[in-house]
Structure 1
Amino acid sequence: MEDRFSAITNLRGDRKHAIFGVYDGHGGAKAAEFAAKNLDKNVLEAVAGKRDESEIADANDVKGGSCCVTAMFSDGNIVVSNAGDCRAVMSVGGVAEALSSDHRPCRDDERTRIETTGGYVDTFRGVWRIEGSLAVSRGIGDAHLKKWVIAEPETKTLRIDQDHEFLILASDGLWDKVSNQEAVDIARPFCLGTEEKPLLLGCKKLVDLSASRGSLDDISVMLIPLDQFI
C-alpha cells in the first residue's frame, strides 16, 4: 500500500479552516509519506507568508514519487490543488463536478510540454507513458524524470454555497473503475445523513466497488461534507 492521506482540522481554533490531502505513491511509499507529513504545513506557511513557494520541498531525495490532491478550506472558500491523477469531485445538488483534471501524458497540453522539453511519450499496452516509464505527468519526487514530471499543481478556488454538498478526494485506484457521477450517487446518502452509518462506510463502499470491478491498484477515498465550512 503506497497511498497516504492527511487531515488537519480546526486550524487556529476555527472549525471552518481545514486542509485535507490524498497522496498516491509510486515506486515506493516514501514520496507519499514525505508529502503527507510535510505538504500541508508547508502550504499553510506559504499562505501565511512565512515560506516562499520556491522553498517547498519536492522530495527529490527519496525513491519514487507521488501524485496528490489537496483541499484547503478557509473563510467559506475551498482551494483544490492536484498534481497527477488523484482527483477531487464535488457533489453539487447531487450532480458530480470535477474540481481537478488528471495529469497524464495522453493529455494534449501535457504531451506538448513534455515533447517541447526533449522528452518523449509513447504507449505500452494501451497506456501512455513518459520515457516508456511513468503514466502520470505531474507529481512530487520522481527525480530521474524531473525534467518532465513537474511538481507544479493546478489549482481551483471557489466559494462554497448551499448546493455544494460534499467533496470526494481519491486516488486513481477509485477513478479508474468508478465514474465521477457514480461515486457521487453512492456516497451521497452517507454524506447527507440519510443513512444511519458513518462516512467511513461510504468510503468503504466505494473502495469495495472499485476492487470488485478488478482494480489492482491502491485505492484511497476521503469524503468531506461541506456544510460545516460554509
Structure 2
Amino acid sequence: MEDRFSAITNLRNDPNQAIFGVYDGHGGSRAAEFAAKNLCNNIIKEIVSERNESKIEEAVKRGYLATDSEFLKENDVKGGSCCVTALISDGNLVVANAGDCRAVLSVGGFAEALTSDHRPSRDDERNRIENSGGYVDTFHSVWRIQGSLAVSRGIGDAHLKQWVISEPETKVRRINPHHEFLILASDGLWDKVSNQEAVDIARPFCIGTNHKQKPLLACKKLVDLSVSRGSLDDISVMIIPLSRFI
C-alpha cells in the first residue's frame, strides 16, 4: 500500500478552515509519506506569507514546488507521488492536483470534476514532454513517459524530473449551499468508478439530517465497488462534507 492521506482541521484555531490531501505513491511509498507530512503545511506557509488574497493559486503552486524540491534533497530519493489537495479557507474551496488523484464535487447531486488527470495521453501534457526532449509511447494500451511512468506530474521522480513536473493545476470555488460534499481519491477508484457514479453512491450517506459518521461508510462502499470490478491498484477515498464550512 503506497497511498497516504492528510487532514488538518481548525487551521489557525478556526473551525471553518481546513486542508486535506490524498497521495498516491509509485516506486515505493517514500514520496507519498513525505508529501503527506509536508505538502499541506508548505501550502499553508505560502498562503500565510502571501499578502494578496487574489494570488492564492500562486501560493498553492509554491507549496507544491517547495515540497518537491525538499523531497529531492532527501538521501537516497526513490519514486514519486501523485497529489490532490483541498484547502477550505474563508468560504473558498481551493483544489489542486499534480498527477491522477482526482477531486470531484457534488453540486446538488451532479458531479463536477475539479481536477483533470495529468497523464501522457493528454494532448497538452504530451506536447509539453515532447517539446522538452522527452517521448511518449504506449505499452499494453497505457501511455508512458520514456517508456516508464504513466503520469506526467507529481512529487519526486528524480530520474524523470525534466518531464514529470510538480506544478499543480488549481481551481477556486466559493462554497455555496449547492456544494454538498467533495470526494478526493487516488486513481484506484477512478479507474473503475465514474465521477457521477461515485457521487450517486456517496450522496445518500452524506445528505440529510442523520448522516453523522456515514461518509466513512460511503468511502468503504466506493472502495468495495472498485475492488469488485477488478481494481488491483491501491485505493484511497476521502469524503469531505461541505455544509459545515458555509
Common fold by TM > 0.5: yes
Cα 1:9–1:197 change in 2 (3 A) is: closer
Give runs of aligned pairs for residues 96-135 of structure 1, distance below 5 A. Answer: 96-135=111-150
**Aligned pair partner of 2:238 in 214, 222, 230:** 222
TM-score, structure 1 as length reference: 0.97
Cα 1:110–1:16 change in 2 (3 A) is: same
Aligned to 1:181: 196
Runs of 4+ off more than 6 Å: none
C-alpha separation between the residues in 2 aligned to 1:196 and 1:67? 30
Aligned to 1:4: 4
Aligned-residue Cα RMSD (Å) equals: 1.6
Return the offset for 1:198: 2.0
Structure whose residues are more often helix by fraction: 2
2:162 is paired with a residue whose SS is coil
Aligned to 1:57: 67
C-alpha separation between the residues in 1 aligned to 2:62 and 2:241? 29
C-alpha separation between the residues in 1 aligned to 2:195 and 2:89? 25
1:48 is paired with a residue whose SS is helix
Return the offset for 1:196: 7.3
C-alpha separation between the residues in 2 aligned to 1:192 and 1:169? 17
User: Cα deviation per residue 1:193-224 (whole Å; 9 max; x = unaligned)?
Assistant: 36676221110000000000000000000000
User: Cα deviation per residue 1:155-181 (whole Å; 9 max; x = unaligned)?
Assistant: 000100010000000000000000000
Aligned to 1:32: 32
Q: Which runs of 5+ in 1 are unaligned?
A: none
User: Cα deviation per residue 1:82-105 (whole Å; 9 max; x = unaligned)?
Assistant: 000000000000000000000000
C-alpha separation between the residues in 1 aligned to 2:234 and 2:7? 19
**Aligned pair partner of 1:162 in 147, 167, 177:** 177
1:148 is paired with a residue whose SS is coil
Return the offset for 1:192: 1.0
What percent identity do the matched residue pairs reach? Answer: 74
Aligned to 2:228: 212
TM-score, structure 2 as length reference: 0.90
C-alpha separation between the residues in 1 aligned to 2:67 and 2:11? 22
User: Cα deviation per residue 1:65-122 (whole Å; 9 max; x = unaligned)?
Assistant: 0000000000110000000000000000000000000000000000000000000000
2:49 is paired with a residue whose SS is coil
Aligned to 1:148: 163
C-alpha separation between the residues in 2 aligned to 1:192 and 1:110? 37
User: Cα deviation per residue 1:13-62 (whole Å; 9 max; x = unaligned)?
Assistant: 11110000000000000000000000111110000118993871312232
C-alpha separation between the residues in 1 aligned to 2:67 and 2:111? 33
Amino acid at match of 1:53: R
C-alpha separation between the residues in 2 aligned to 1:179 and 1:167? 14
2:7 is paired with a residue whose SS is strand
1:210 is paired with a residue whose SS is helix
Aligned to 1:88: 103
1:223 is paired with a residue whose SS is strand
Amino acid at match of 1:148: W
**Greater CA drift, 190-199 or 10-19:** 190-199
